Amino acid sequence: MTTVQAPTAGIIAPPQRASRDTGIDFVRALCVVGVVLLHSIMVGVTVDASGPVFENASDGTGWIAPLSWLLQVMPLFFVIGGFSGLLAYRRLRERGGSALGFVAGRLHRLLRPAVFTIAIVGVGLALLTVFGVPADLIATAGFRYGQPLWFLGVFLLCQALLPALAAAHERAPYRTIGALVAASIAVDVLRAATGLEGLGFLNLAFVWMTLQQLGFFLADGRIGRLSRRVRATAGLGALLLLVATFLTGVYSPDLIANINPPTAALLLVGVAHTSLLSLHRERIERFSRRPRVAAFTAFVTVRTMTIYLWHMPVLLVMAGATAVYALFTGVALPSLDSADWWAARPLWLATALALTALVAVAFSRFESQPAPQATGSLPRLVAGALSGLVGVLMLLVLGTSVATALIAVALILAALRLASQTTPLPPVGVRTLVPA
């Protein structure tokens, strides 16, 4: 007997659109490109008497704060993740699927390309060790690779909790997002009052879950049904409040600084971004249907995680190749933030985008393959999600080395195994789906 869960009463149906919202997909693709550009411009390579030096080119500069206002797109990315995730979950339920199936599918979509990337990076670090590259350079490369993985861990957590958060949204949408906002602000207050910076990392959950929850309101159509004046006022109000927090010293004007650890300033960024998206959504959707724009969107959409996972290894290879070229040719590399350094940025950024795209084409099959039959066991799925999270967070906290990469690969493979069906399915007609 097949159990199909009926739609929960009180759900506000989203606007009738095509199976995919091409405008939302286009904005998400732009966010992915923005992330690659931001990380690319932060890569600094110089050579001194002791050898190559790899630095964050934005440290101590005045340009990173205004640039962060253009390229800090993570709040919008999580809003879009909530929008797309909620609609995908509801479509799955309409077909008789379950919450467990949704989460298992998300685990496979996120972790399957990650395990391959981490394994390749681990092999690369091992080869660098064999070839005698100084240990401090290898450690720096491993640290730089691990830094962007915070997104994979947090997005995995948010998507794993999406069915529970969606249920809370259906029962009490405003109380749910209000509680998450209050928790985010409380963490910032406690962090400031106690001076314990580590408390701020609690907002790796609260801030990003709040923004995902904001995406639910966009998916429901609640935001779209507000008048344009209300939406514009909300966006402008969030922007003015954000500026006020900068001027009063509550938060840094550098939005990159507000991401490590996350602060409630990112919530205001998310509201401003969502307001703009909502106000111009129809125009964006029409633009997204143009052939070249649609081709760009389609290319990125099926490779989103692959691009994200591989852009940092590409940048590290580019940095290493630049250093080797300088050492063997004797060419002096421009000092960071100099006129010559800036003159070389367009070529550097274009190369980073092109190489990342080529690598994404080569490895996108690990992301696009359909997920296997999901486990019907909640304990197995919880264990799998935790195993994957621990593997990713270990690389983030401890840095990526040959040893940590090997352990992370083992943990993620275990996660994928736990999220898959391991017992034979009952015959069609007596199959039971776990209710959401």
Interhelix angle 135-146/99-130, nearest 10 degrees: 160
Is residue 199 predicted with pLDDT exceeding 50?
yes
pLDDT in tens, 380-393: 999 999 999 999 99
Please give the Cα distance from 435 to 425 (Å, whole number). 16
Provide mean pLDDT across the span 202-208.
96
Residue 395 near residue 118, CB atoms below 8 Å: yes
Element at 384 (helix H, strand E): helix 378-398
pLDDT in tens, 293-331: 999 999 999 999 999 999 999 999 999 999 888 888 888
Please report which confidence band the pLDDT of residue 19 belongs to, taking 50, 70 and 90 as the band edges.
low
Can you tell me which residue has the tokens 């199909």? 4
Residue 43 in 3-state DSSP?
strand
Is residue 13 predicted with pLDDT exceeding 70?
no
Provide mean pLDDT across the span 189-203.
94
CA 98 to chain CA mean position, Å:
24
Residue 138 near residue 145, CB atoms below 8 Å: no
Residue 262 near residue 72, CB atoms below 8 Å: no
Identify residue 388 by its one-letter amino acid code.
G
DSSP state of 227: -
95, two tokens? 């077909």
Note the pLDDT of residue 430.
Answer: 37
Pairing of strands 51-56, 43-48: antiparallel
Q: What is the CA radius of gyration of the chain?
A: 22
Q: Which residues contact 404 (CB under 8 A, 6 or more apart)?
A: 142, 394, 395, 398
Q: Which of 413, 348, 419 has its CA nearest to residue 378?
A: 419
Is residue 160 predicted with pLDDT exceeding 70?
yes
DSSP string, 147-172: TTHHHHHHHHHHHHTHHHHHHHHHH-
pLDDT in tens, 2-12: 344 444 433 44
Note the pLDDT of residue 78.
Answer: 97
Is residue 14 predicted with pLDDT exceeding 60?
no
Residue 218's Cβ-side half-sphere holds a number of Cα atoms within 13 Å equal to 29
Residue 64 backbone dihedrals phi, psi, to 5 degrees: -70, -35
Please give the Cα distance from 47 to 52 (Å, whole number). 4
Note the pLDDT of residue 422.
Answer: 55
DSSP string, 50-99: TEEEEEETTTT-SSHHHHHHHH--HHHHHHHHHHHHHHHHHHHHHTT--H
Is residue 435 predicted with pLDDT exceeding 60?
no
Note the pLDDT of residue 431.
Answer: 36
- How many C-beta atoms surround the C-beta of residue 245 within 10 A? 17
The sign one gets for the Cα dihedral 15, 17, 22, 25 is: positive
pLDDT in tens, 349-380: 999 999 999 999 999 887 777 777 777 789 99
Residue 332 in 3-state DSSP?
coil
Please give the Cα distance from 256 to 18 (Å, whole number). 35
Provide mean pLDDT across the span 113-138.
92
- Average pLDDT over all residues of the chain: 89
Residue 399 in 3-state DSSP?
coil
Least confident piece of the model among 64-68, 104-108, 422-426: 422-426
Residue 384 near residue 421, CB atoms below 8 Å: no
For residue 143, CA distances in Å to 10, 55, 118, 147, 400 come to 47, 12, 13, 6, 6
CA 27 to chain CA mean position, Å:
14
* Domain regions of the chain by residue span: 22-418
